[in-house]
Structure 1
Amino acid sequence: MTTSASDRSALGAFLRARRARVTPGDVGLPTSGRRRTPGLRREEVAQLAGVGVTWYTWLEQGRARNASDQVLEAVARVLRLDAAEHRHLMVLAGRGPAPEPGPPMDLRPEHTAVLAKLLPYPAAVQTDCYDLVAANRAYRYLFADLDTYPVEERNCAWLMFTEPSWRDSLVDEDTVLREITARLRNRQPEHRDDPRWNALIDRLRQESPDFVRYWESYEVVGDSTQRRRYVSPRVGTLDVQFQSLWLDRARGERIIVMTPADDPTAQRLERLDSLVGAAPAWTARSDSAGGSAAGA
């Protein structure tokens, strides 16, 4: 399948970044001698993958238009790609379909019912590019009042990189920001024609030097349950399991929920809900579909 110039360029950048992370010792090559650059040399990758050096060089330069599955699999093996990286490679090489940009997520009553039932645990309905479609009151007041932000700013990636009250909540700032960027990197090629994605990435690149730094490192990761530590201005330190309950995995639509990882966190989340208990059980973006914007 023929790929676009931008995808071929991204594929080359991805391969160069992954090549720099693999040492000769990782693949059974001698480790003696000085190297001008980290990782493997192009000719070493080509030799181990069983392809010509010129052909592999073209791949990294974005000049190869129709790499075969056999070549891609061999390169993936040599570069020791994990499942998320392998999937990303195949999408960039034109092996994964790019979904058509669709309408905003349809927020349904059963979604908001789950948000309410999950209290006092913070939970929110989130899209593939981190837009927050709806949130229960524990999530709404976890760091700052989410409803006070303009609708276009109710996005976890945007808030974590640009809003001090959200960023200051991160105990492990580098880890969280790096993973947010790596997830966006991973899914972005599938949404290359989606205005929502393009606008978000452009805004983050313009407003956050840290985002640019992480973005240009070209790390990609998949979704998994993560243990996270936050500091809530209302109740203090929270140690939680951050997980996704998928509504539509193909579209990336999910309910994110934070469950306590220890008893003190469970007690603090109970206290948070008691402090904000007069607020509606959930609220939604005014531009989301499917009923009213708040629920008792």
Structure 2
Amino acid sequence: MSRSNASGSNALGEYLRARRELIDPAQAGLHVLGVRRTPGLRREEVATLAGISADYYLRLEQGRDRNPSAQVVESLARVLRLDEAATQHLLSLSAQRPAGSRRPRRETVAAGVRQLLEVINLPAFVESRSFEVLASNRLARAVSPRLAPGVNRMRAVFLDPDEREFYPDWEQAARGLVAGFRASVGTDVDDPRIMQLVGELSLGSEAFRRLWARHDVAALAGGSMRVRHSELGELELRREKFPLAESGGQILAIYHAAPGSATARALEQLRTLTTEADRTNRMDGTDEAGTSASATSA
């Protein structure tokens, strides 16, 4: 039995095929006569351009050979016009992974990181490799209630109608999120929890199915985004992301704004409101449910 059949997954082959079908033959310097019935490059064209046999490339796509050399991967990356992040993803799919390398079922956020969330004067949260919010501060939850611990951002973006209102540039945000998600989970796409999440999103969202089928990957990076706050209106936020050492792939995300901008003033207003709410809660002897102390995830 082939490894593809034994494992039930052929992530390398699926990725190669998806990226092959996105390449216009003209981009690869090929002159095509007539109209093709299928998009992209043919397998034998990829093989020829990469300098490998057509039979070997076929075995790679079918999952009958899963360990191409680094030189072959680099040649395929060149033919498929992969950027650095996509090339690294292809390399990770090609690498052998030792048995028993699954992540633990429950995740915790380090105490020091939870303390940082409480003292940092900006909206901040910690997410898992599957984009589940593990911990967040009050400012983050004031920006969006869907940044509360236990919320999966993939589910929120694709299955919660409120998120389409929250992101004026929803299509752009969704595409970036899916590319980041695929890069984040890497070779864990056959993890039962990841498979369940992908299946749920595929059934519930045509947009997710379309974007997931592209096999885009995006490296961990900051950027800018527009959001529509229910009380403060449109905000122009910058986001920074930092990998947390020895955390199993957890990411610290921080939102901020250009100094002196309207968004910076709005964040200051939000900061004042949350501080007043904290003071009221302390006087009443109560606390907000779902604080960053709730830092475990099934």
TM interval, shorter chain, is 0.7 to 0.9
Match of 1:88 in 2: 89
Q: Can you give the 5+ residue segments of structure 2 that lack an aligned partner in the other structure?
A: 279-286
Instruction: Give the counterpart of 2:157 among 131, 155, 160.
Output: 160
Q: Is the 8 A contact 2:18 2:213 kept in 1?
A: no
Alpha-carbon distance in 2 for matches of 1:115, 1:77: 42
Instruction: Give the counterpart of 2:119 among 114, 117, 120.
Output: 117
TM-score, length of structure 2 as denominator length: 0.82
Alpha-carbon distance in 1 for matches of 2:167, 2:81: 31
Deviation of 1:139 (Å): 0.8
Alpha-carbon distance in 2 for matches of 1:57, 1:45: 10
Match of 2:201 in 1: 204
Give the superposed CA RMSD: 2.9
Match of 2:17 in 1: 16
- Counterpart secondary structure, 2:234: strand
Return 3-12 or 259-268, whichever deviates more. 3-12
- Counterpart secondary structure, 1:284: coil
1:240-277 CA-partner distances (Å, limit 9, x unpaired): 11111221377221210111146111001111222232
1:163-222 CA-partner distances (Å, limit 9, x unpaired): 222332001111111121222223334324644433322332233332222212222222
Return 42-51 or 185-194, whichever deviates more. 185-194
- Counterpart secondary structure, 2:89: helix
Q: What number of residue pairs does the alignment pair up?
A: 283
Return 225-234 or 69-78, whichever deviates more. 69-78
Q: Is the 8 A contact 1:138 1:273 kept in 2?
A: yes
- Counterpart secondary structure, 1:115: helix
| Matched letter for residue 22 of structure 2 | R
Q: Is the 8 A contact 2:4 2:62 kept in 1?
A: no
Instruction: Give the counterpart of 2:274 among 267, 273, 276.
Output: 276
Instruction: Give the counterpart of 2:215 among 218, 242, 245.
Output: 218
1:10-59 CA-partner distances (Å, limit 9, x unpaired): 22221122112223343333366543333322222111111112222232
Identity %: 34
Return 232-241 or 41-50, whichever deviates more. 41-50
1:27 aligns with 2:28: yes
Match of 1:136 in 2: 137
Alpha-carbon distance in 1 for matches of 2:169, 2:146: 22
Match of 2:65 in 1: 64
Q: 4+ runs of 1 displaced by more than 6 Å?
A: none
Deviation of 1:146 (Å): 5.3
1:172 aligns with 2:165: no
Equivalences for residues 43-54 of structure 1 within 5 A: 43-54=44-55
Alpha-carbon distance in 1 for matches of 2:72, 2:147: 48
